Structure 1
Amino acid sequence: MPFSSIAVGRPEEVTKPDALKAALAEFISTLIFVYAGEGSGMAFNKLTGDGATTPAGLIAAAIAHAFALFVAVAIAANISGGHVNPAVTFGAFVGGNITLLRGILYWIAQLLGAVVACLLLKFTTGGLTTSAFALSSGVNVWNAFVFEIVMTFGLVYTVYATALDPKRGSLGTIAPIAIGFIVGANILAGGAFDGGSMNPAVSFGPAVVSWTWDDHWVYWAGPLIGGGLAGVVYELFFITQTHEQLPTIGDY
């Protein structure tokens, strides 16, 4: 059966030292990622006097998020797998790569990391606003909902292909940069419409600190559905039905 490896896990699993170390790694990586990503937007607002978002600002946000996620995934990869995103954790659970209880532990660590990052930003910037994600003018919740599904599908599919696939081989060494690149590219595509979250923790932190919850459900439902679909598709078609690894260019 395709998803026979899905498991709830045992309660004692989440108290084991390796699980707690993994949660700490997720907390630190998410804090680093959100601090740099959200901080880049706050820096842009300061430099422009809270001016309108420009193409240069969008490019800066995409680069900051791509670089920061590359680092955040890389530094946690050998400890927790480097999820840094509840949608990635959910996608991994759907594919049987993490138990439900351990996944919940990751979620708590990721959400706390995002909130602490935004609190630190508010303090270190002298009280500047940590802006919550919001829909742009002319974009309705269903537009944003589908945007988040599609963008997060691409992200989690990339995670599966480069990090979770048992046959990834040497491709696994570029997983962090590939994951960072797809997030940066998706921000360039969706940032002007709904901010390009793809990550409930990234949306949750600023929402808590600024206490702004408008259309917040979009930034949970879209990524979780997109991440879950990616896990189902990759597990069903490429892992469960063991694909044959093609030779690389150097093997011909």
Structure 2
Amino acid sequence: MAKIAIGSFGEITKPDCIQALVVEFIVTFFFIFAGVGSAMTTEKLAGNEVVGLLFVALAHALVVGVMISAGFRISGGHLNPAVTIGLCAGGHITVIRSLFYWIDQLLASVAACALLSYLTGGLTTPVHTLAAGMDSLQGVIMEIVLTFSLIFTVYATLVDPKKGFLEGLGPLLTGLVVGANIMAGGPFSGASMNPARSFGPALVAGVWTDHWVYWVGPLVGGGLAGFIYETFFVYKTHIPLARDEEGY
């Protein structure tokens, strides 16, 4: 069974933690900048909705894969509080450091969205809201399912020490599942899978409709996926935290 490590607030003074937080801010910033920017582009161009959905999904898939690769060696390239809680549930990052990561990711999201608003002449940052006819429970379940598949992929391709031939493909495959989930869930819940991805646009735009859904769904889905994969599928050869100097 996964063993959750609490950690201490003294971690913030450690050089490896400081480096990880700086890198996590950078990669999350560029992820949000490209992801939200692609959504703003589709609204500005006002093209076909299907083409717009594919464009946004592709942009997210590409930037997720690249930014995970860029940050993996130092911070793990989480980009997402749901990924962080999933790894925390598996004992790969302490609870305290997870809180630092969350703050970092949220600040990066707000900074990216504020910059986008400025650079685009005040265009509204598109926020995640539920589609007409979808209630809150349906939205939460949709986000749980989508985020579970994301974190399950992270574990299978990046965390599991027996990933085998998938070694090195984790960032790309994680990006692809993000893109696929946006195609599947985008028209319904927005397919956030990431509280930071939803928080920045909501704060900058000042629109909080259904916002709680994009915290509850992803965090529940991410935590469940991390706990289940670590408990039932990861073969333990040593203590998990001993391998986490680079994030996973």
Structure 2 partner of 1:93: 88
Cα distance, 1:169 vs structure 2: 4.0
Cα distance, 1:24 vs structure 2: 1.0
Deviates more, 1:166-175 or 1:101-110: 166-175
Distance 2:192 2:170 in 1: 20
1:194 and 2:189 matched: yes
Residues 119 and 209 in structure 1, CA contact (< 8 A), matched pair in contact too:
yes
1:165 and 2:164 matched: no
Structure 2 partner of 1:247: none
Q: Alignment identity in percent?
A: 52
Structure 1 partner of 2:24: 26
The one-character-per-residue Cα deviations of 1:120-172 (angstroms, maximum 9, x if unpaired) are 10011011001211111111111111000000000000000111112224523
Distance 1:169 1:111 in 2: 34
Which amino acid in the other structure matches residue 215 of structure 2?
W
1:39 and 2:22 matched: no
Structure 2 partner of 1:146: 141
Structure 1 partner of 2:7: 9
Gaps of 5+ in 2: 238-248
Residues 29 and 75 in structure 1, CA contact (< 8 A), matched pair in contact too:
yes
Structure 2 partner of 1:206: 201
Count of aligned pairs: 237
Residues 134 and 214 in structure 1, CA contact (< 8 A), matched pair in contact too:
yes
1:176 and 2:137 matched: no
Which amino acid in the other structure matches residue 9 of structure 1?
G
Deviates more, 1:168-177 or 1:26-35: 168-177
Helix, strand or coil for the counterpart of 2:132?
Answer: coil
Which amino acid in the other structure matches residue 145 of structure 1?
V
1:68 and 2:63 matched: yes
Distance 1:133 1:72 in 2: 22
Distance 2:142 2:236 in 1: 29
Gaps of 5+ in 1: 243-252
The one-character-per-residue Cα deviations of 1:29-59 (angstroms, maximum 9, x if unpaired) are 11101110110111111112xx7x7111111
4+ long deviations beyond 4 Å: none
Distance 1:189 1:88 in 2: 20
1:221 and 2:211 matched: no
CA RMSD of aligned residues (A): 1.3
Structure with larger Rg = 1
Structure 1 partner of 2:246: none
Cα distance, 1:234 vs structure 2: 0.3
Cα distance, 1:211 vs structure 2: 1.0
Residues 14 and 101 in structure 1, CA contact (< 8 A), matched pair in contact too:
no
1:95-134 equivalent positions in 2, closer than 5 A: 95-134=90-129
Structure 2 partner of 1:232: 227
Residues 146 and 222 in structure 1, CA contact (< 8 A), matched pair in contact too:
yes
Which amino acid in the other structure matches residue 113 of structure 2?
C
Q: Using structure 2 for the length normalisation, give the TM-score.
A: 0.93
Q: Using structure 1 for the length normalisation, give the TM-score.
A: 0.91
Which amino acid in the other structure matches residue 135 of structure 1?
L
Which amino acid in the other structure matches residue 75 of structure 1?
A
Helix, strand or coil for the counterpart of 1:239?
Answer: coil
